[in-house]
Structure formats: structure tokens, C-alpha cells
């Protein structure tokens, strides 16, 4: 079940990055609204998402492990440009699958 959820999450995140769609998710039991920027594998082999968090525990850059995300939903909102401080060469990622 975990693997199919990860595949579903990966598809939703990839599409959201391409369409610059704002996402809603739950991470560590906290509801968050994010602008997804980079999906890829971190240095430890975890599928990870770098996103600008708009609401939840305050605004700012966050790195989420996809296998710990629950309640992932697309919204009707879009973001027009990368968030402040966006780094296409984010050193957190060993391999990038999709990015803004």
C-alpha cells in the first residue's frame, strides 16, 4: 500500500510542478499549503520534495520526504514564478525528477 501511495503522490507532485499548482498536504500531522518546486532523490535515496510553504507552520522553504506525506490534494490555485531564494541546483538532491 505504501508503494502505491508513493507512486500516486509522485504523479500528483510532478503534475503540480509542471502546472505550478499549489498543493495541500499533511506532514507530521500538520496541514500545510505549499508551492512545489523540486521533486527528486536526496543523498540518502529518499524521494523528496522541496517546496515553498505558504501556510502550516509558517512560510518558508521545506524539504518533505514523500513517503511521510498524507492527504495530498491539488488546489485551484497557481503560483506564477519561483519563490524567493529558489535554487535550481539545490544540494539536497542527488537526482532531480522534475523542477520549476
- Read off the pLDDT of residues 58-94 as tens digits, 9 standing for 90 and up: 889 999 999 999 989 999 999 999 999 999 999 999 9
Query: What confidence tier does 1 reach under pLDDT thresholds 50, 70, 90?
Result: very low
Write the CA distances from 41 to 29, 44, 65, integer angstroms: 23, 8, 9
* Calpha distance 94→21 (Å, rounded): 24
Tally of domains within the chain: 1
The predicted pLDDT at position 5 comes to 63
**Domain span at 55:** 2-99
- Read off the pLDDT of residues 18-29 as tens digits, 9 standing for 90 and up: 999 999 999 999
Amino acid at each position: 500500500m505504501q508503494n502505491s501511495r508513493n507512486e500516486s503522490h509522485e504523479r500528483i507532485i510532478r503534475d503540480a510542478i509542471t502546472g505550478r499548482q499549489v498543493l495541500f498536504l499533511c506532514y507530521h500531522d500538520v496541514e500545510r499549503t505549499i508551492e512545489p518546486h523540486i521533486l527528486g532523490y536526496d543523498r540518502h535515496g529518499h524521494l523528496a520534495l522541496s517546496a515553498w510553504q505558504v501556510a502550516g507552520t509558517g512560510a518558508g522553504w521545506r524539504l518533505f520526504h514523500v513517503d511521510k506525506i498524507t492527504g495530498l490534494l491539488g488546489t485551484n490555485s497557481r503560483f506564477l514564478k519561483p519563490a524567493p531564494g529558489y535554487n535550481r541546483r539545490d544540494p539536497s538532491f542527488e537526482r532531480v525528477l522534475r523542477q520549476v
